[in-house]
């Protein structure tokens, strides 16, 4: 049986990391953990996530009723509970307003894919859900169409929500996403974003499958798609108000094995958007990068198993 006090302590620790990273201003953000199919630990409302004590954590049921705790539960509990109802394979959820990812939420700019190995391995395509007033069931329901195909979601004009088996894992995906959004903005300001070739992207997706991480892009329905140009969630873009404005679409890929396929990354100039072949990328660099990711994942899994 799990130790509820230890999990409350972990929620406090992750709350401090959220606050120190600037992901949750004032009393923003909330964290939950599902103890069993009837009880969920939940951070309190109107309380900074940077200064939580285990005693501050509430206990609620699957309808959002408070079962224990001297402080009132977060008003965003319904969002968390809806995600738990849709995903019985995860136990913790982190919601916050990290500035770089939230900038994409406000601009309603889709997250470009095929740029950074960590993002392809750990996140995959990141959806943006429709805006609704926070705290309502209608808001909680916006997550339903995408919740099975992702582990982190951008909430339009609001923030992010991510989930995992542990509190720390649920937090990781938010941190990976916000760092990525920041890097994208910096690279764009330098004038150019380089995208992987199809072969480079397929190698990452194969690695991901080997490690046992699910990715809808590896499944039948995406088999013959241009893997970088076809965002898994593009069908929802019109209704959500999402449109590519700040970043060009990745260039259409040449099929793997095509004789004239360029080696290395394909560059897209921001000024006119015409595909430009970049200098050949060193294959050794790519392999070293994949090795680095492997080492990190193994370390993370060992770390998780030791808890
Ligand atoms: Zn919020």
pLDDT single digits (tens) 232-272? 898 899 999 999 999 988 877 655 444 333 334 444 333 33
State in Å: Cα 134 to ligand 1 middle: 7
What pLDDT, in 10s, does the model give residues 86-100?
A: 999 999 999 999 999
Question: Over 60: is that where the pLDDT of 69 sits?
Answer: yes
Burial string for 170-194 (b: 16+ CB within 10 Å, else e) reads: bbbbbbbbbbbbeebeebeeeeebb
Give the integer Cα–Cα distance in Å for 255 and 210: 22
Mean pLDDT, the chain, integer: 86
Residue 76 bears catalytic tag: yes
Task: Quick: pLDDT tens for 190-212.
Answer: 998 999 998 999 999 999 999 98
176 alpha carbon to ligand 1 midpoint, in Å? 18
Name all domains of the chain by residue range, CATH numbers in brackets.
Answer: 4-190 (3.40.225.10), 192-305 (no CATH)
Among 10, 39, 76, 132, the active-site one is 76
CA of 30 to the centre of ligand 1 (A): 8
Q: What is the pLDDT of residues 6-54, one digit of tens each?
A: 999 999 999 999 999 999 999 999 999 999 999 999 999 999 999 999 9
Nearest alpha-carbon partner for 264 in 292, 286, 242? 286
* Residue 206 Cα to ligand 1 middle (Å): 35
**Which pTM value belongs to this model?**
0.82
């Amino acid at each position: 049986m799990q130790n509820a006090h230890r999990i409350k302590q972990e929620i406090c620790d992750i709350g401090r990391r959220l606050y120190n990273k600037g992901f949750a201003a004032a009393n923003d953000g909330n964290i939950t953990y599902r103890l069993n199919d009837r009880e969920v630990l939940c951070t309190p409302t109107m309380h900074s996530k940077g200064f939580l004590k285990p005693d501050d954590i509430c206990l609620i049921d699957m309808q959002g009723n408070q079962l224990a705790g001297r402080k009132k539960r977060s008003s965003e509990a319904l969002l968390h509970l809806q995600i738990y109802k849709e995903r019985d394979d995860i136990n913790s959820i982190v919601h916050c307003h990290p500035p770089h990812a939230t900038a994409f939420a406000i601009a309603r700019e889709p997250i470009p894919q095929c740029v950074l190995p960590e993002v392809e391995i750990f996140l995959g395509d990141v959806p943006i859900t429709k805006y609704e007033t926070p705290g309502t069931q209608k808001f909680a329901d916006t997550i339903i169409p995408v919740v099975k195909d992702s582990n982190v979601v951008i909430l339009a004009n609001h923030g992010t929500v991510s989930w995992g088996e542990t509190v720390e894992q649920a937090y990781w995906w938010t941190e990976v996403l916000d760092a990525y959004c920041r890097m994208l903005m910096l690279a764009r300001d330098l004038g150019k974003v380089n995208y992987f070739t199809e072969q480079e992207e397929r190698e990452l997706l194969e690695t991901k499958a080997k490690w046992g991480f699910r990715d809808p892009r590896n499944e039948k329905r995406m088999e013959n798609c241009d893997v970088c140009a076809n965002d898994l969630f593009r069908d929802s873009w019109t209704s959500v108000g999402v449109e590519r404005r700040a970043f060009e679409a990745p260039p259409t890929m040449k099929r793997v094995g095509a004789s004239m396929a360029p080696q290395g990354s394909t560059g897209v100039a921001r000024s006119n958007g015409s595909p430009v072949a970049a200098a050949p990328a060193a294959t050794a660099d790519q392999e070293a990068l994949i090795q680095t990711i492997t080492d990190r994942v193994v370390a993370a899994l060992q770390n998780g198993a030791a808890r």
